[in-house]
Structure 1
Amino acid sequence: MDVLVTGGDGFVGRHLCSELLDRGHDVTSLSRTPDPSVLPSEVDLQQGDVTDYDSIEDAFEGKDVVVNLAALPPLHQPPKETSHDSVCIGGSINAVEAAEQHGVSKFVEMSSLGADPNGDTAYWRTQGLGEKVVRYSELDWIVFRPSFIFGDGSETFTFVRRHTTPYVTVLPDGGDHPRFQPIWVGDCVEIFADGIEDDAYDGEVYELGGPEVLSFGEVARMLYEADGKSVEIVPVPMVLATVALYAVDPIPSIPLGVDQARALKMSNVTDHNDVGAFGYDESDLTTLSAYLRGEQRHRPQRRPVPSD
């Protein structure tokens, strides 16, 4: 198959492009500023911005499948020149329209666990609305809703290290919230690739989580322990943290604000983990602690077709 991946040189995209190449597919990465240093040389690079239809349309010609990974990081407020609305909603509209115009067979949308058109934060609200664009299209489609994806290049690791300190760090409610169900990027892209290859998965929304539920504080401790450092977490009341984030919201130089205050109270855990539909048992998946020890695991290569 000939597969186009929007955001193909991003964190998830670079892993997915490599996985698809390993399976024998032709792969094109579409991004605003293509970075050949993070992708295999066999990947075709195309420049385009999903918020600008004319800049991306030609890249969809002759493609069998489009995978839309384009999104802004959920943990920071977006830069002034863009927004979650323009990327998650506008980008999905443009990508779907281009796919329909060029006769693409299947559209795969990476959304996020917690996506909801009526969500409390701009990120989850626009993810939910972006899903609607895909699901109401004329295309065969799949929507994936992963929890926090971890691995080499993970934005979440960068966020944790940037906003905590080793040895002693202050966290709202001692870091008990938010709670995640982290899934390793290697497991995640295998599931995505299975969905791309097998039409039996079409027309469904799949929630994906890893084998354990962890709090923000537990993730921070694991990261610092992997660096050979301890961390003592000093709790502050959630209400004080919320007031502080609301107060800094108008300050452009601080990438935190109201949405991050709301996100502190949310849970990013699956209601029903759909990894089983792709032949995984949760015990087959790589845990965060195993990854940090360099002990990634892989499932058997047989990929069963889901039953009707």
Structure 2
Amino acid sequence: MKVLVLGGTGFVGTNLCRELQSRGHSVTAMSRSPNSEDLPDGVEKAMGDVTDYDSIAGAFEGKDAVVNLVALSPLFKPDGGYRMHDIVNWQGTENVVKAAESHGVSRLVQMSALDADPDADTAYIRSKGKAENAVKSSSLDWTIFRPSIIFGDGAEIISFTKRLKGMFAPGVPLYPLPGNGKTRFQPIWIDDLTPMFERALEDDEHIGETYEIGGPEVITLRELTEMVYESEDKSITIVPLPMPLAQVGLTVLGAVPGFPMGADQYRSLKIDSTVRDNDAEAFGVDTSSMKTFERYLADRN
């Protein structure tokens, strides 16, 4: 199968390209700067920006399937403001759908987000909901994935925990966590997730399905943070930061040019990222066999 992976040089993209190629597919990775040295030999590179239809359309010609991974991170405030979520995540997806339909590419796998909803509380989740609607209203054979946070070498989650501390308590061993870090996550290892994308492309039974995918356990932001620092033999003392105070701080600081977080990140920290039913089983995966975040941290040291 000839597969075009948009966002192919990002964290998920490079790992997915490697997985697809290892299973015999011909892979093209597209991004705005397709010079990643992490891509395996034999993966073709294409330059394109999903917000510019003309820059991406030609790469769809002759492809059998497309995987759209392009999205701005929900963890940080985007350059250009929160309207950029709509421009990249939603309108970019509309361009992907249009290009696929115009060039005879019938198969689309779309990476979305848990609780994607056009009426959600955060700009990121709203844009993902609008993007899902664009996919579902298309003529394509689509599959949508809604994963919890994804971990692995090169993922944002570890750097995010450290950056969060740097914003609230730089230079001291105290770590104020909004809401005492009660936000819950169900992190999934990248190498457990990418084979599911490949199976979704191969098996027609996944057409027209939306899958919520999580890892083998639910952990809180506090537990996740403690695991990160303990894995590096660093000592921190977590203290609760009341959510109203976090709201004021992130809203005010979010107006400062260059500050990486804002009100939308505060709202995100109030929403659990866990699945209702883990659809990993739809791909024949026993969740007990999946790698935990703690195991990953131990293996990397």
Structure 1 and Structure 2 fold alike (TM over 0.5): yes
Q: Does residue 274 of structure 2 align to residue 272 of structure 1?
A: no
Unaligned stretches of 5+ residues in structure 1: 296-308
Cα offsets for 1:124-166 (capped at 9, x unmatched):
0000110110011000000000000000000121111112268
> What is residue 131 of structure 2 aligned with on the other side?
130
CA contact (8 A) 1:36 1:45 kept: no
The alignment's C-alpha RMSD in Å is 1.3
> What is residue 227 of structure 1 aligned with on the other side?
232
> What is residue 164 of structure 1 aligned with on the other side?
165
Structure 1 position 253, deviation (Å): 1.5
Matching residue's letter, 1:78: P
Distance in structure 2 (CA, Å) of the matches to 1:272 and 1:221: 27
Q: TM-score, normalised by structure 2?
A: 0.95
Structure 1 position 197, deviation (Å): 1.1
> What is residue 139 of structure 1 aligned with on the other side?
140
Distance in structure 2 (CA, Å) of the matches to 1:294 and 1:114: 31
> What is residue 302 of structure 1 aligned with on the other side?
none
> What is residue 169 of structure 2 aligned with on the other side?
none
Distance in structure 2 (CA, Å) of the matches to 1:21 and 1:113: 28
Is the deviation greater in 161-170 or in 14-23? Answer: 161-170
> What is residue 32 of structure 1 aligned with on the other side?
32
CA contact (8 A) 1:148 1:180 kept: yes
Distance in structure 2 (CA, Å) of the matches to 1:202 and 1:2: 18
Distance in structure 2 (CA, Å) of the matches to 1:290 and 1:216: 17
- Structure 2 residue corresponding to 1:200, chosen from 194, 202, 205: 205
Distance in structure 1 (CA, Å) of the matches to 2:64 and 2:122: 34
Q: TM-score, normalised by structure 1?
A: 0.93
Unaligned stretches of 5+ residues in structure 2: 167-171
> What is residue 293 of structure 2 aligned with on the other side?
288
Distance in structure 2 (CA, Å) of the matches to 1:204 and 1:257: 33
Cα offsets for 1:167-209 (capped at 9, x unmatched):
4211122212x21100000001011111111111110000000
> What is residue 70 of structure 1 aligned with on the other side?
70
> What is residue 267 of structure 2 aligned with on the other side?
262
> What is residue 247 of structure 1 aligned with on the other side?
252
- Structure 2 residue corresponding to 1:173, chosen from 179, 185, 188: 179
> What is residue 100 of structure 1 aligned with on the other side?
101
Distance in structure 1 (CA, Å) of the matches to 2:43 and 2:107: 20
Q: Does residue 221 of structure 2 align to residue 216 of structure 1?
A: yes
Structure 1 position 259, deviation (Å): 0.3
Distance in structure 2 (CA, Å) of the matches to 1:27 and 1:147: 25
Structure 1 position 250, deviation (Å): 1.8
Matching residue's letter, 1:174: N
Cα offsets for 1:48-101 (capped at 9, x unmatched):
000000000000000000000000011111112871011111110000000001
Distance in structure 2 (CA, Å) of the matches to 1:52 and 1:221: 42
